[in-house]
Amino acid sequence: MATVNSVMGPIDTDDLGFTLSHEHVGTNAAGLRHTYPEIIDRDGIREQSIAAMRAVREDGVRTIIDVSTFDLGRDVQLIREVALGSDMQVVVATGNHLAVPRPFGEISPDVIAELYVREIEEGIEGTGIKAGIIKVASDEGGVTAPQENVLRAAARAQKATGVPISTHTWSPERIGDAQVRVLEEEGVDLDRVYIGHSNDDTDLEYLLGLLNKGVWLGLDRYPGGFRPGTPDWEQRTEVAKALMDAGFTHRIFLSHDYSVSKARHGAEVQEQRRANPDGYNFIPRYVLPRLKEMGASDEDIHQITVENPRRFFAGE
């Protein structure tokens, strides 16, 4: 029986159900909640996150993968409170986002990997809550030297624990290719790698090239509008259908990269992003019906939303 760590303990991968593969429960910045806790309306984040997750539970979603790393203000106790209050299964991440801490660019990847392994095997910040995925990030301009160090650390932690890797990328510059090169050098099984944010443009040659390498693809920025000039939600859905038609229904994920709020002071400014008033519900309400209009079957939808996450975390 394969399991994945969640904030409530191990989950049988067969019980993951409909999974959103790249989301957040409130993001801010490293150290902010410890140093200036008054800036964060923790109660407001909890209240809104519980309401948002209860709403998407009604649309059939059973599991959220929260890929907030410590440098995105990860608060695993808060995430557990949200999971309890909403009856949502939530998996949290170890790893790093774009702003790699200075020492991490100067020390051996082996040292960083030990930190990630500890958060997977022992727990995060003394809570006993264990990470179920490793998050790494690169963006415009390519993989920086510190980010490469973190990628290598993630690879070594993956090989030590079997826990899969999820990446933040910038697809218009084919950053996923650069990440894959580093991970290949480290000898990672690419079946354990998820290249995220792969629907920020419509370059099918790039996306099919990644899939043919053996990775999984996250079409996980819905509905769009994250950056000027990137595709709208219908264009993103056309890309998803094109990848399905090319034979890769079994290798893609859908998600939003949504967070109910950033760090704000006062409940009156804790509001959903204007770009996505439907929050976590956008995919069930709009994307899945649109895919069916385009010819996707119920079996295809089940494959993408349920079977693919199950197989990814089970290592099948």
- pLDDT tens track for 201-244: 999 999 999 999 999 999 999 998 778 889 999 999 999 999 99
Contact 158, 127 (CB under 8 A): no
**What does the pLDDT read at residue 75?**
95
Contact 123, 116 (CB under 8 A): no
Mean pLDDT across the stretch 81-88?
98
Please indicate whether residue 225 or residue 63 has the higher confidence score (pLDDT).
63
Question: Can you give the three-state secondary structure of the chain, one letter per residue?
Answer: CCEEEECCEEEEHHHCCEEEEEECCCCCCCCHHHHCHHHCCHHHHHHHHHHHHHHHHHCCEEEEEECCCHHHCCCHHHHHHHHHHHCCEEEEEEECCCCCCHHHHCCCHHHHHHHHHHHHHCCCCCCCCCCCEEEEECECCECCHHHHHHHHHHHHHHHHHCCCEEEECCHHHCHHHHHHHHHHHCCCCHHHEEECCCCCCCCHHHHHHHHHHCCEEEECCCCCCCCCCCCCHHHHHHHHHHHHHHHHHHHEEECCCCCCCCCCCCHHHCCCCCCCCCHHHHHHHHHHHHHHHCCCCHHHHHHHHHHHHHHHHHCC
The residue segments making up the domain with residue 140 are: 3-314
**What does the pLDDT read at residue 207?**
98
- Does the global pTM surpass 0.85? yes
CATH of the domain at 308: 3.20.20.140
Chain segment 179-188, per-residue pLDDT in tens: 999 999 999 9
Please give the angle made by the CA atoms of 20, 53 and 294, to the nearest 5 degrees.
45
Helix axes 145-161, 175-185, angle to 10 degrees: 50
**What does the pLDDT read at residue 193?**
98
Q: What percent of the chain has pLDDT over 90?
A: 84
Contact 182, 155 (CB under 8 A): yes
**What does the pLDDT read at residue 271?**
54
Find the Cα–Cα–Cα–Cα dihedral 2, 13, 294, 256, rounded to 10°.
Answer: -120
As for how many domains the chain has, the answer is 1
Pairing of strands 165-168, 193-195: parallel
Chain segment 236-274, per-residue pLDDT in tens: 999 999 999 999 999 999 999 999 876 666 666 555 456
Mean pLDDT across the stretch 154-163?
98
**What does the pLDDT read at residue 28?**
84
Q: What is the CA radius of gyration of the chain?
A: 18
**What does the pLDDT read at residue 72?**
92
For residue 3, which phi and psi values (nearest 5 degrees)? -130, 160
Please indicate whether residue 31 or residue 305 has the higher confidence score (pLDDT).
305
Q: What is the mean pLDDT of the chain?
A: 94
Mean pLDDT across the stretch 268-281?
71
